[in-house]
Chain A
């Protein structure tokens, strides 16, 4: 998919573990893992809002568009 999820990069920058983030955004580890590995088909605005709040970042820091050639 041309949308890349940079959640792991942001987590590394904020030195936050998946468990910690899962507790802060109130998402299951399985769902966070789906998002982190790029398997997700859609992201709810509420989830994005919670992640941005927890990681103190913008949606653009997590999602990136890379054109496929």
Chain B
């Protein structure tokens, strides 16, 4: 392995850890604010997370508010899970013998989670559009949710890569058992 590749991999590993921890903190913060809003002080809906104001939705219907915030929490948790898989890949990858079952499982996991995030984000975005049509003024959720399309694309690409990786494992095993 080239020294520059090693440095880039180390930097990416550190960045993945930071993003993973950031997403955990974000999920925890939203979850905490959500429970505070429901159980203690409904005013919390005005600043759920970093100026995210969902008080209009809370006043419109508590059920829709619970569904939307739960969806945001689930999406955020799935993103944290995705980066947890990325961190684990960096811990397990061995570039001398790169094709291992563990890494294959993690790559497949990333593909499925990314697809899940993409689908969920699309559903939530459609739900927000519908709520806007009902006259509920919602803030821009791009900062907490994202588009959805990107994750669908990411999921599809990673799913294809995971299939190629599985074939790589077969070839490596065959190569190892060639005397």
Bound-complex Cα distance A11 to B149 (A): 63
Chain B CB within 8 A of A66 CB = no
Beta-carbon nearest neighbor of B174 in chain A: A41
Judge if A19 is at the interface, Cβ distance under 8 Å: no
Q: CA–CA, A57 to B125, complex, Å?
A: 73
* B interface residues, tally (CB under 8 Å): 5
Residues of A contacting B174 in the complex (Cβ-Cβ under 8 angstroms): 41-42
A32 contacts across to B, CB distance below 8 A? 179
Could you tell me which B residues sit within 8 Å of A by CB distance? 173-174, 177-179
User: Chain B residues with Cβ under 8 A from A42's Cβ?
Assistant: 174, 177-179
CB atoms of A44 and B177 under 8 A apart: no
Residue A27 interfacial (CB < 8 Å): yes
Inter-chain contacts of A27 with B (CB < 8 A): 179
| 13 A-B residue pairings within 8 Å (CB atoms) | A31-B179, A34-B177, A34-B179, A35-B179, A40-B177, A40-B178, A41-B177, A41-B178, A42-B178, A42-B179, A43-B179, A44-B178, A44-B179
Contacts from A to B (Cβ < 8 Å):
27, 31-32, 34-35, 39-44, 47
Q: What 10 pairs between A and B have smallest CB-CB spacing?
A: A41-B177, A42-B178, A35-B179, A40-B179, A31-B179, A41-B174, A40-B177, A43-B179, A47-B179, A34-B179
